[in-house]
């Protein structure tokens, strides 16, 4: 039988506010355990939450970016359950009335038509702390630094059909929140965490099958791997006469498999009810339009502009627009270079390779976009050759400096003066009479040898075009 998988993702986006969603404690990652937990985060008796308006602004920004309705009235609820890293015994979340309503996201998967993924809702909530199981033998440590960090939980419709689509959607959402500057997008530090709901059904069926939920996946690749594994598991199970249980599972990346969590957690009754400590969030049109004014160009629009206005290939446009910092860098370099394609080639080629070698992100790139742009400009105007430019790039990467100053001081200017090149050619031809004879006998491959020798003798500064022309003329004599 042909099976179809149906996938929906719930992605927790950690909002990049300076302080927590209901307290003034800082949200920075990596502090000593429990150093960034104030009495409110600790759930001491008598403390009260106060909503951080910045978190609301970021949620609205997200809502506008996915074309969603921003609910003028939304409510914080208490989700009640006991866990040691949940200090109050409840999590403040939004249940019945979330801040962001239905919207959608365009997703591109290579070789497939562009896909519109529905987003059911997005709501604000506070993160829990962390239980640390491996620090003390036989004991569990509690770190409440993360407690109260604002999260935006983005719930998609079950519109995804393949693990590749799911990963692409996750990637696209990652790209969007980075563009909006509402999340640092650092997956390794847990800034975006994904729960995947997955079920299978006979291809063509419209009814949904029983779904399993895979919790807490923190990379694009693992989403794809976990779903691929889970789909195979469900198909095997059903084809061998079994049935899929409504189940919560964890992905084990080391073994590349999903495993069932304790199923009794599923029967939790969270006893949601409106938190009486917080007023309903009321958002008016003025607030929404102020946030709308801050919206940057979104990835989708930038992609279209690169393809249509800059005449880049779809592949290049997708590559360059994925990350907003990369796109900013590229645009700055392209503007100085005066040639988008050259800039795209260099950013995706030399620069990307150098960054990878140094294990750096674009934000930490030692070479400013202006320097690369200037360098590309000097290729475009013929001041240096492409080859010289590559070694100049290395110099700039290693020790920085002004492009023009280095060209002058190192004497890297491309030689375009015939009277300088001609004697070199004569010298080379005179020194290699055998090769000249071979060429004249019809062995044209030798021509490349002459070009190489001339370039070498000019220390790479001769204009290759000119060298070609002059050589051809002299050899024709």
Partner 1 sequence: MDSNASLSELIRGLQAAEFSSVELTRDYLQRISRANGDLNAFITVCEESALAQAERADQKRAAGAGTALCGIPMAYKDIFCTKGEKTTCGSKMLADFVAPYDATAVAHLKSAGVVMLGKTNMDEFAMGSSNENSFFGAVANPWDHDRVAGGSSGGSACAVTAGLAAATLGTDTGGSIRQPAAFCGVSGLKPTYGRISRYGMVAFASSLDQAGIFAASAADIARVLPFIAGVDPKDSTSSDHEDGWLNLHRDQALQPAGSGRIGLPREYFRDLGVTDATLQATCRTLEAAGFTLRDVSLPHVDAAIPCYYIIAGAEASTNLSRYDGVRYGYRCENPQSLEDLYRRSRSEGFGTEVKRRILTGTYALSVGYYDAYYLKAQKIRRLIQQDFLTAFNDVDLILAPTTPDVAFRRGDLLDDPVAMYQQDIYTIPASLAGLPAISIPAGEHQGLPLGVQLIGPHFAESTLLETAAAFQRETDWHRRRPGGTD
Instruction: With contacts defined by CB under 8 A, name the span among 10-18, 40-48, 226-234, 406-414 that binds partner 1.
Output: 40-48
Is residue 265 near partner 1 by the rule CB under 8 A? no
Cβ closest to partner 1, residue 80 vs residue 219 = 80
Q: Is the dihedral of CA 325, 330, 336, 338 positive or negative?
A: negative
User: According to CB under 8 A, which residues from 89 to 118 bind partner 1?
Assistant: 89-90
- Torsion angle of C-alpha atoms 41, 44, 48, 51, degrees rounded to 10: 0
Beta carbon nearer to partner 1, 3 or 273: 273
| 342 φ, ψ (degrees, to nearest 5) | -60, -45
Residue 168 makes CB contacts below 8 A (sequence gap 6+) with 107, 108, 109, 115
Site stretch for partner 1 (CB under 8 A), options 48-56, 145-153, 302-310, 379-387: 48-56
For residue 176, what are its two tokens?
A: 């969007």
User: Based on CB atoms, which residue is closest to partner 1, 111 or 276?
Assistant: 276
Among 18, 39, 260, 297, binds partner 1 (CB under 8 A): 39
User: Can you name the residues that pair with 202 across neighbouring β-strands?
Assistant: 3
Distance CA 128, CA 37 (A): 11
Q: Quick one: 126 or 275, whose CB is closer to partner 1?
A: 275
Beta carbon nearer to partner 1, 281 or 379:
281
**Can you tell me the distance from the alpha carbon of 120 to that of 409, in angstroms, rounded to the nearest whole number?**
61
**Residue that has been written with the tokens 């060298």 in this structure:** 467
Residue selected from 95, 273, 287, 447 as contacting partner 1 according to rule CB under 8 A:
273
Residues 6 or more apart in contact with residue 238 via CB below 8 angstroms:
3, 200, 244
Q: How far is the CB of 48 from partner 1 (least distance, A)?
A: 5
Closer residue to partner 1 in complex, CB, 279/295:
279
Site for partner 1 in 140-179 (CB under 8 A): 142
Judged by CB under 8 A, the residue of 6, 47, 132, 422 near partner 1 is 47
Size of the site for partner 1 (CB under 8 A): 28
Query: 31, 50, 203, 358: which one contacts partner 1 (CB under 8 A)?
Result: 50
Q: Contact between 138 and partner 1 (CB under 8 A)?
A: no
Q: In whole angstroms, what is the distance from residue 20 CA to residue 39 CA?
A: 12
Eight-class DSSP state of 348: I
Both tokens assigned to 349 = 């080629």
CA distance 90 to 75: 15
Does residue 18 interact with partner 1 by CB under 8 A? no
**For binding to partner 1 (CB under 8 A), which residues are involved?**
39, 42-51, 78, 80, 82, 84, 87-90, 142, 269, 271, 273, 275-279
């Amino acid at each position: 039988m042909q099976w179809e998988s149906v996938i929906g993702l719930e992605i927790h986006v950690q909002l990049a506010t300076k302080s927590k969603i209901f307290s003034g404690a800082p949200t920075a990652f990596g502090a000593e355990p429990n150093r960034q937990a104030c009495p409110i985060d600790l759930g001491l008796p008598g403390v009260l939450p106060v909503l951080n308006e910045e978190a609301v602004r970021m949620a609205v920004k997200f809502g506008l970016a996915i074309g969603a309705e921003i609910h003028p009235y939304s409510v914080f609820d208490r989700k009640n359950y006991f866990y040691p890293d949940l200090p109050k015994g409840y999590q403040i979340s939004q249940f019945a009335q979330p801040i962001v309503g239905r919207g959608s996201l365009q997703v591109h998967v290579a070789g497939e038509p562009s896909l519109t993924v529905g987003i059911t809702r997005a709501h604000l909530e506070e993160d829990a702390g962390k239980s640390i199981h491996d620090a003390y033998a036989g004991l569990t440590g509690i770190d409440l630094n993360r407690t109260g960090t604002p999260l935006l939980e983005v719930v998609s419709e079950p519109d995804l059909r393949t693990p590749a689509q799911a990963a692409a959607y996750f990637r696209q959402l990652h790209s969007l929140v980075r563009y909006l500057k509402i999340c640092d997008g650092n997956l390794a530090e847990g800034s975006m965490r994904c729960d995947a709901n997955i079920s299978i059904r006979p291809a063509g069926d419209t009814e949904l099958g029983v779904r399993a939920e895979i919790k807490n996946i923190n990379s694009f690749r693992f989403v794809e791997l976990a779903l691929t594994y889970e789909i195979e598991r469900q198909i095997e199970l059903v084809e061998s006469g079994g049935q899929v249980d409504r189940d919560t599972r964890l992905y084990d990346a080391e073994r590349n498999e999903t495993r069932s969590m304790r199923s009794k957690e599923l029967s939790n009754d969270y006893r949601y009810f409106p938190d009486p400590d917080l007023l309903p969030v009321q958002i008016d049109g003025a607030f929404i339009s102020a946030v709308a004014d801050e919206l940057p160009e979104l990835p989708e629009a930038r992609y279209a502009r690169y393809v249509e206005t800059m005449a880049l290939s779809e592949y290049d446009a997708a590559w360059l627009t994925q990350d907003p910092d990369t796109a900013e860098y590229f645009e700055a370099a392209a503007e100085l270079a005066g040639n988008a394609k050259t800039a795209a080639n260099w950013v995706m080629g030399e620069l990307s390779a150098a960054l990878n070698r140094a294990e750096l992100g674009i934000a930490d790139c030692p070479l400013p976009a202006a320097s690369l742009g200037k360098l590309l400009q000097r290729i475009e105007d013929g001041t240096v050759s492409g080859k010289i430019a590559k070694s100049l790039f290395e110099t700039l990467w290693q020790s920085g400096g002004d492009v023009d100053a280095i060209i002058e001081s190192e004497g890297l200017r491309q030689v375009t003066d015939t009277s300088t090149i001609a004697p070199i050619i004569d010298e080379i031809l005179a020194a290699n009479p055998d090769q000249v004879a071979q060429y004249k006998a019809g062995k044209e491959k030798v021509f490349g040898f002459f070009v190489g020798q001339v370039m070498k003798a000019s220390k790479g500064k001769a204009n290759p075009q000119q060298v070609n022309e002059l050589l051809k003329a002299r050899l024709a004599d």
